[in-house]
Amino acid sequence: MHSFTEENYLKTIYHLSQLNDSPVQTNAIAEGMKTRAASVTDMLKKLSDKQLIDYIKYQGVTLTERGKTTAVGVIRKHRLWEVFLVEKLKFKWDEVHDIAEELEHINSGLLVERLDEFLGFPKRDPHGDPIPDKDGIFEPDQNIHLHEMCQGDKGVIIGVNEYTSSFLKHLERLGLTIGIRIEIEEIADYDGSVELLVEGKRINVSREVTQRILVNYK
C-alpha cells in the first residue's frame, strides 16, 4: 500500500496535470504540497521506483496508469466522504474539506463501494466537483470559469475550485451557491470585477471570486 504522503503527492500531481497537458513541474508540486522542491525531488524518485509516475530528471513528471488509478481512487473517496458529511451528518459545505483530507486515506475497497451505495451513487460533491465511479470514470462536463464569461451570458453555478472555509462562507454571503442561476450584466475593465444578476438582485463580484466559480452555461 501507499503512505498518506504518497497518496497526497499523486493527488496533487493529478490535479496539476489537469491544468495543461505538459509534464508537471517540481516547483508546482512543491507549492501544491506546501513543501520544498528538494523534498519533492526525493519523493519523485520514490514514486518513480514504484512505477506510479514517469519521471525524467529536470523534465517534470506524468502519472502512469497505475498512478492515475490511485490518484482518482483517492479523489473518489474524498468526494464521497464530503457528500456523507453534508448529506448525512449535516455539516456545511465549508466545513468538510479538511475532514475529507483525512478520510480519503482510509483504505478499504469494500468501504468505498458501500459508502457510495449508501449515499445513492452521487454524481457530484458538495462543491460541485464530479465524483468518479468505481472504474474511475468521470461524468463528462463542460463548465467554464465565471471570469471567462461575457456580458449577457447566463448560466448556473455548478462548482468552485477553492475549498477554504473563508471563501465558501463569502460565497454564501453573496448568495452564490451551487444551483444558483446567474447572468453577467457588466464586466469592469478597470479591475475585472463583474456585475451579476442573482435572484433578481445585482451584485458586484471581484475577479478573485470569479476565477474560482465554475458555471454550466448553454
| Binding positions for its own copies, rule: CB under 8 A | 85, 88-91, 95, 98-99, 102-103, 106-108, 110-111, 114-115, 118
Q: Which residues lie below 8 Å from residue 77, measured CB to CB, with a gap of 6+?
A: 103, 104, 105, 106, 112
- 8 is a site residue for Mn ion (CB under 5 A): yes
- Exactly one of 49, 51, 57, 151 binds DNA (CB under 7 A); that residue is 57
Nearest approach in angstroms of CB 28 to Mn ion is: 17
Nearest approach in angstroms of CB 183 to Mn ion is: 28
Half-sphere exposure of 51 (CA within 13 A, CB side): 2
Binding partner selected for residue 115 from its own copies, DNA, Mn ion, none, CB under the kind-specific 5 to 8 Å limit: its own copies
- 207 is a site residue for DNA (CB under 7 A): no
Using the minimum distance from each CB to its own copies, give the nearer residue, 117 or 199. Answer: 117
Binding partner selected for residue 108 from Mn ion, its own copies, DNA, none, CB under the kind-specific 5 to 8 Å limit: its own copies
Element (H, E) at 202: strand 201-205
CA distance 49 to 54: 9
Contact at 8 Å (CB) between 161 and 185? no
Contact at 8 Å (CB) between 146 and 195? no
Using the minimum distance from each CB to its own copies, give the nearer residue, 99 or 187. Answer: 99
- Exactly one of 41, 62, 69, 161 binds DNA (CB under 7 A); that residue is 41
Using the minimum distance from each CB to its own copies, give the nearer residue, 36 or 114. Answer: 114
Which of helix, strand or coil describes residue 141? coil
Phi and psi of 135, rounded to 5°? Answer: -95, 10
Beta strands (DSSP E) in 4-161 are 53-55, 61-63, 144-145, 154-160
- Exactly one of 11, 13, 53, 60 binds DNA (CB under 7 A); that residue is 60
- Exactly one of 15, 32, 39, 208 binds DNA (CB under 7 A); that residue is 39
